[in-house]
Amino acid sequence: MRIKYLLDPQVLQRICTESLDEYNNKTNKKVSNSVGETSKSGATEVVETIDKNLVDILLNNLTTEYPFLYKGTNGKTRKLKWVVSTAAGATGWLTLLFTSLREYLILFGCANITDGHSGRYRSDVYDTILTGEMIASQNDDPTICHVYKPSATGWLKKGEIKSYSITKGTWMLEYSRGNIVSMLPTGLMDNLSSNLDFKSFFWTVKEYFGLMRYKREEKRVFKRNLKTQYKLEKQKIRKTQQSKKEVQIGRASCRERV
């Protein structure tokens, strides 16, 4: 039985590319693999690694394509919550955008440099870079280095692994589909065994499954709309085919009269 997924990795990459182009046109700032603006506060240097305007544009475009994302029954945009994530040696920050037992969509990244092991999952993982740069080598040929820059997508296939590092100020849209439950030990066990960050562990679990309940009705509406659209398209095709047959019958009758 083929599993139907709500999100499409190719559509998500297109949305990221369009969002980057829109951001560049509106702000006249080209997103590159370098960090953003720098300001000084006393002896401390403060660096903005991703413009919030870019995040707003991305979320708006995602919501337009997938109406069930972010908005609840009150129509207000859900406030993004960030939590630190330590998984297989890599430390970064993530915010959950969509969750289910078969799919998830997150914003992930780090203001500083980090690296680690990807983990081996029973699911596919797609990372589309928004800012910065991701460098990875996969188990099919570890001598080759893959460099992913803004708008590029790295695909970690089901059952495979990679080692990766991200440069300073790298942020990405990460989408995964498949057996999401099999990914949870890699994503959460460091919080219980090494850094003992129980607060982040419980917050991630609470937010993940809480967001699943929060979005259940929106997903049902979205599925109903898809089915309705599919039925309308089938009816349109049938009408077109029927009209063609009528034209052919009319032409045949005219020939017989002649």
Tokens 């506060």 belong to 41
Q: Name the burial class of residue 103, with classes exposed (0-12), middle (13-18) and buried (19+) by CB atoms within 10 angstroms of its CB.
A: middle
Helix or strand holding residue 39 (H, E):
strand 38-41
Chain centre to alpha carbon of residue 215: 16
pLDDT tens digits along 95-124: 888 888 889 999 999 888 888 888 888 889
By C-alpha distance, which of 199, 177, 179, 182 is closest to 98?
177
pLDDT band (50, 70, 90) for residue 42: low
pLDDT band (50, 70, 90) for residue 34: low
Chain centre to alpha carbon of residue 244: 43
Residue 187 scores a pLDDT above 90: no
Q: Position 177: which residue type?
A: R
pLDDT band (50, 70, 90) for residue 32: low
* Residue 118 near residue 161 (C-beta atoms within 8 A): yes
Q: In Å, what is the CA distance from 145 to each residue of 17, 104, 116, 136, 137?
A: 23, 27, 15, 6, 5
**DSSP character at residue 171:** E
Q: How far apart are alpha carbons 132 and 165 in whole angstroms?
A: 11
- Would you state the structure tokens that stand for residue 250, as one six-digit string? 């009319």
* Residue 166 near residue 108 (C-beta atoms within 8 A): no
**DSSP, residue by residue, 83-113:** EEEEETTEEEEEEEEEE-SSEEEEEEEESS-
**What is the average pLDDT score of the chain?**
78
**What pLDDT is attached to residue 208?**
75
Q: Indicate the CATH number for domain 9-214.
A: 2.60.120.10
Antiparallel, parallel or unpaired: β 123-131 and 38-41: unpaired
Residue 72 scores a pLDDT above 50: no
Q: How far apart are alpha carbons 149 and 119 in whole angstroms?
A: 22
pLDDT band (50, 70, 90) for residue 231: confident
* Residue 93 near residue 84 (C-beta atoms within 8 A): yes
pLDDT tens digits along 13-23: 999 999 999 99
